[in-house]
């Protein structure tokens, strides 16, 4: 009896030990096609097993100099998601198992600057691209394949993803003028773009309600022009030091910053700060008088448009604009400065054309190219000026006839500040109500008839801030629509359809919650509730 019970105990321990050993090495069959990746990759070849990520997994880079940021970024994001702290290594000896290898060794013209190949076996994860930017985009795919929160066992489905974007410009615009948003809010917004492989943040820095960027040669623009915002609350502005910090944060994540100084309309804050910019010697108060600030003469806190204009026929205006563009160009490494040009209803047409042509020449003289809202198509365009379609198909036709590139931001489809429906707690609806499926179901290449695909520069989803007072408001309007615009820009039209997309988007609800994103839970998306 005693002997037999000891034997039983012996066999029991053998069994337990065996089952622990096998369960550690056992791979859960997993399907890479069910990774719910947004934007949808070009090709996925699933092999049905899994890679187990654990505390021993190392992140190896073949080029410590160019890939240091990628490597550190990946370990930080993995830590945020699943709590593991992975070691970062580099050197000559490429690991043969138990590692994530980030490599820039390939030379594959099909992948371009942003494409990547992600190969996951039971032993190894190999992420390769032509350069660190492609690796960085691939890292976003890898992160989406991880669980959205802490798990006992972290497994990643095996297979190969080969991926590259349809359009080279995939952006969003954040209006920090109507309501002011500071550096930390802008960085959080950049993180959202990064996560969905977008690559441009256009910052709308000036408008009637506020001038938000420090200009050292004309300090009152920001110091006075930035004092308030829509509704009369406290405004603010970004110092040049902070702007440089934003540009650096964005550049590390392969996001281009495009600053916008809107002119000659949308300029009440500038006119109030420097009466030299007006023809009358003081800012006119032609907007509704109750919405002019009592505390700060000339500053506007309402949401009407089209009442302000710079004085276009005096040299002083061009001196100030030149100084502004010069300072901005000096701290903007990217090739573009956006010069607005929309809704200048108080500027005579011939004055508008004269002004916008001079503004473009100023931008060129500082080594940059201009971007302008679609009205700019009515002017003589400088070589390289990009026209941003938001409203007028007539302007699109003119732009195409002049050989210009078109950035597609149709207000009826791509404006993130439009309400989802009549019950949306914030947002406007002058262009349309844009439910999540409406925002997804269009394509830049066919939205305006008779525009050749070669003329399409890319896609941008602007978020105007008349009704957004804080980051929760931004998140409510951006999510869950922003990932859809990212997919429109990345994935060819032939590979996209709403029924497939909405299931993948639903799976991202858990990620939104993990990132504390205050998203709108549209009933068109089959969210999975916990
Ligand atoms: C715009 O929405 N005024 C470009």
Count of C-beta atoms within a 10 Å radius of residue 80: 11
- Quickly tell me which residue has 């914030």 as its tokens: 426
Give CA separation, 522 vs 148, 193, 342, in Å: 20, 20, 32
pLDDT band at 92 (very low <50, low <70, confident <90, very high): confident
CA-409 nearest atom, ligand 1: 4
Q: Which helix (H) or strand (E) holds 92?
A: none
CA-390 nearest atom, ligand 1: 4
CA of 342 to the centre of ligand 1 (A): 6
pLDDT attached to residue 515: 95
What's the pLDDT tens digit per position in 31-81?
999 999 999 999 999 999 999 999 999 999 998 889 999 999 999 999 999
To test the pocket of ligand 1, the residue of 411, 432, 434, 460 to mutate (highest count of ligand atoms within 8 Å of its CB) is 411
pLDDT band at 475 (very low <50, low <70, confident <90, very high): very high
CA-415 nearest atom, ligand 1: 2
- Check pLDDT > 60 for residue 134: yes
Length of the chain, please? 530
CA of 431 to the centre of ligand 1 (A): 10
pLDDT band at 27 (very low <50, low <70, confident <90, very high): confident
What tokens does 324 get? Answer: 């502004």
What's the pLDDT tens digit per position in 211-230?
999 999 999 999 999 999 99
* 459 contacts 167 by C-beta, under 8 angstroms: yes
To test the pocket of ligand 1, the residue of 209, 260, 338, 343 to mutate (highest count of ligand atoms within 8 Å of its CB) is 343
Cross-strand bridge partners of residue 461: 172
CA-388 nearest atom, ligand 1: 4
What's the average model confidence in pLDDT over 268-283? 93
CA of 519 to the centre of ligand 1 (A): 24
To test the pocket of ligand 1, the residue of 339, 390, 410, 416 to mutate (highest count of ligand atoms within 8 Å of its CB) is 390
CA of 526 to the centre of ligand 1 (A): 33
pLDDT attached to residue 11: 53
What's the average model confidence in pLDDT over 373-401? 98
What tokens does 265 get? Answer: 């309309």
pLDDT band at 8 (very low <50, low <70, confident <90, very high): low
Q: In the chain, what are the helix, strand and coil shares in percent, each to the nearest 5?
A: 40, 20, 40
Give the integer Cα–Cα distance in Å for 476 and 425.
9
pLDDT band at 530 (very low <50, low <70, confident <90, very high): low
Give the integer Cα–Cα distance in Å for 418 and 463.
9
Residue 440: asked if its preceding bond is cis (omega within 30°), the reply is no
Give the integer Cα–Cα distance in Å for 195 and 143.
9
- Write down the catalytic residue from 114, 291, 343, 375: 343
CA of 478 to the centre of ligand 1 (A): 17
pLDDT band at 281 (very low <50, low <70, confident <90, very high): confident
CA of 202 to the centre of ligand 1 (A): 13
Count of C-beta atoms within a 10 Å radius of residue 174: 24
The answer to whether 487 is a known catalytic residue is: no
Residue 404: asked if its preceding bond is cis (omega within 30°), the reply is no
What's the average model confidence in pLDDT over 393-412? 98
CA of 170 to the centre of ligand 1 (A): 18
* 389 contacts 395 by C-beta, under 8 angstroms: yes
CA of 308 to the centre of ligand 1 (A): 15
Grouping H, G, I as helix, E, B as strand and the rest as coil, residue 155 is strand
Grouping H, G, I as helix, E, B as strand and the rest as coil, residue 202 is strand
CA-411 nearest atom, ligand 1: 2
What tokens does 180 get? Answer: 């002011």
Who contacts 412 (Cβ-Cβ below 8 Å, separation ≥6)?
Answer: 431, 432, 434
DSSP codes joined into one string, 292-305: B-SSSTT-B-S---
To test the pocket of ligand 1, the residue of 208, 262, 267, 342 to mutate (highest count of ligand atoms within 8 Å of its CB) is 342
Kindly report the CA angle at 500 between 496 and 506, in degrees rounded to 5? 120
Q: Rounded to the nearest 5°, which phi and psi values hold at 169?
A: -120, 115
DSSP codes joined into one string, 406-421: EEE--HHHH-TTB-SS
Give residue ranges with CB within 6 A of ligand 1. Answer: 342-343, 373, 390
What tokens does 269 get? Answer: 């804050």
CA-340 nearest atom, ligand 1: 4
Count of C-beta atoms within a 10 Å radius of residue 241: 10
pLDDT attached to residue 107: 87
Who contacts 329 (Cβ-Cβ below 8 Å, separation ≥6)?
Answer: 337, 363, 366, 367, 368
More confident residue, 92 or 376: 376
DSSP 291: G
Residue-averaged pLDDT of the chain: 94
What tokens does 161 get? Answer: 């993803």
Give the integer Cα–Cα distance in Å for 273 and 220.
6
pLDDT attached to residue 453: 95
Who contacts 85 (Cβ-Cβ below 8 Å, separation ≥6)?
Answer: 55, 75, 79
* 124 contacts 95 by C-beta, under 8 angstroms: yes
Alpha helices in 441-508 (DSSP H): 471-478, 482-490, 498-507
To test the pocket of ligand 1, the residue of 464, 465, 466 to mutate (highest count of ligand atoms within 8 Å of its CB) is 464
Lowest pLDDT segment from 154-168, 278-292, 402-416: 278-292
- Give the dihedral of Cα atoms 222, 223, 225, 229; nearest 10 deg: 100
- Check pLDDT > 80 for residue 10: no
Alpha helices in 378-420 (DSSP H): 393-401, 411-414
What tokens does 111 get? Answer: 């992948």
CA of 312 to the centre of ligand 1 (A): 21
What's the average model confidence in pLDDT over 311-331? 97
Cross-strand bridge partners of residue 204: 175, 260
Question: Above pLDDT 70, what percent of the chain?
Answer: 95
Residue 480: asked if its preceding bond is cis (omega within 30°), the reply is yes
Count of C-beta atoms within a 10 Å radius of residue 326: 14
Residue nearest to atom 2 of ligand 1 (CA): 390
Residue nearest to atom 3 of ligand 1 (CA): 342
- Check pLDDT > 70 for residue 24: no
What's the average model confidence in pLDDT over 266-270? 98
Count of C-beta atoms within a 10 Å radius of residue 270: 33
pLDDT attached to residue 60: 97
Residue nearest to atom 1 of ligand 1 (CA): 342
Domains of the chain (ranges plus CATH)? 26-163 (3.30.379.10), 169-514 (3.20.20.80)
Q: Rounded to the nearest 5°, which phi and psi values hold at 238?
A: -95, 130
What's the pLDDT tens digit per position in 150-203?
888 899 999 999 999 999 999 999 999 999 999 999 999 999 999 999 999 999
Give the integer Cα–Cα distance in Å for 227 and 504.
43
- Check pLDDT > 90 for residue 16: no
Give the integer Cα–Cα distance in Å for 38 and 59.
24
What's the pLDDT tens digit per position in 453-462?
999 999 999 9
- Check pLDDT > 70 for residue 241: yes
């Amino acid at each position: 009896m005693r002997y037999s019970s000891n034997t039983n105990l012996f066999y029991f321990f053998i069994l337990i030990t065996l089952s622990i050993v096998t369960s550690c090495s056992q791979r859960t069959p997993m399907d890479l096609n069910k990774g719910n990746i947004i934007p949808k990759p070009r090709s996925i070849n699933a092999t049905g097993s899994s890679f187990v990520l654990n505390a021993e997994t190392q992140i190896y880079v073949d080029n410590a100099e160019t890939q240091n940021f990628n490597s550190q970024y990946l370990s930080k994001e993995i830590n945020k998601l699943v709590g593991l702290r992975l070691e970062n290594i580099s050197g000559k000896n490429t690991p043969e198992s138990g590692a994530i290898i980030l490599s820039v060794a390939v030379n594959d013209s099909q992948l371009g600057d942003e494409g990547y190949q992600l190969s996951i076996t039971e032993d190894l994860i190999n992420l390769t691209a032509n350069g660190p930017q492609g690796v960085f985009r691939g890292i976003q795919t890898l992160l989406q394949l991880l669980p959205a929160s802490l798990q006992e066992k972290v497994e990643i489905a095996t297979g190969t993803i080969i991926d590259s974007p349809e359009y080279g410009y995939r952006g969003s615009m954040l209006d920090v003028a109507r309501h002011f948003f500071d550096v930390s809010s802008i960085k959080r917004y950049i993180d959202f773009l990064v996560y969905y492989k977008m690559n441009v943040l256009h910052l709308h820095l000036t408008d009637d309600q506020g001038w938000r960027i420090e200009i050292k040669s004309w300090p009152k623009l920001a110091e006075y022009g930035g004092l308030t915002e829509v509704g009369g609350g406290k405004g603010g502005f970004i110092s040049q030091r902070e702007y440089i910090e934003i540009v650096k944060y964005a550049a590390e994540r392969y996001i281009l910053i495009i600053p916008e100084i809107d002119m000659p309309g949308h300029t009440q804050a500038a006119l109030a700060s420097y009466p030299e910019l007006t023809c009358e010697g003081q800012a006119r108060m032609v907007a509704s008088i109750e919405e002019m600030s009592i505390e700060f003469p000339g500053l506007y806190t309402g949401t009407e448009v089209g009442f302000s204009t710079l004085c276009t026929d005096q040299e002083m205006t061009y001196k100030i604009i030149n100084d502004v563009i010069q300072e901005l160009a000096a701290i903007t490494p990217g090739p573009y400065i956006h010069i607005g040009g929309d809704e200048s209803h108080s500027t005579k047409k011939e004055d508008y054309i004269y002004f916008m042509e001079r503004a473009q020449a100023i931008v060129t003289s500082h080594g940059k190219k201009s971007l302008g809202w679609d009205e700019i198509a009515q002017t003589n365009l400088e070589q390289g000026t990009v026209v941003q379609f938001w409203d007028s198909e007539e302007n699109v036709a003119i732009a195409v006839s002049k050989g210009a590139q078109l950035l597609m931001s149709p207000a009826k489809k791509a404006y993130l500040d439009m309400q989802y429906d009549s019950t949306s707690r914030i947002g406007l609806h002058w262009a349309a109500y844009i439910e999540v499926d409406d925002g997804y179901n269009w394509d830049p290449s066919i939205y305006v008839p008779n525009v050749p695909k070669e003329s399409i520069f890319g896609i941008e989803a602007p978020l105007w801030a008349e009704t957004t007072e804080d980051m929760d408001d931004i998140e409510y309007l951006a999510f869950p629509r922003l990932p859809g615009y990212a997919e429109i820009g990345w994935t060819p039209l032939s590979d996209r359809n709403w029924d497939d997309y909405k299931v993948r988007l639903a799976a991202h609800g858990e990620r939104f919650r993990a990132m504390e994103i205050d998203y709108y839970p549209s009933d068109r998306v089959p969210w999975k509730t916990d």
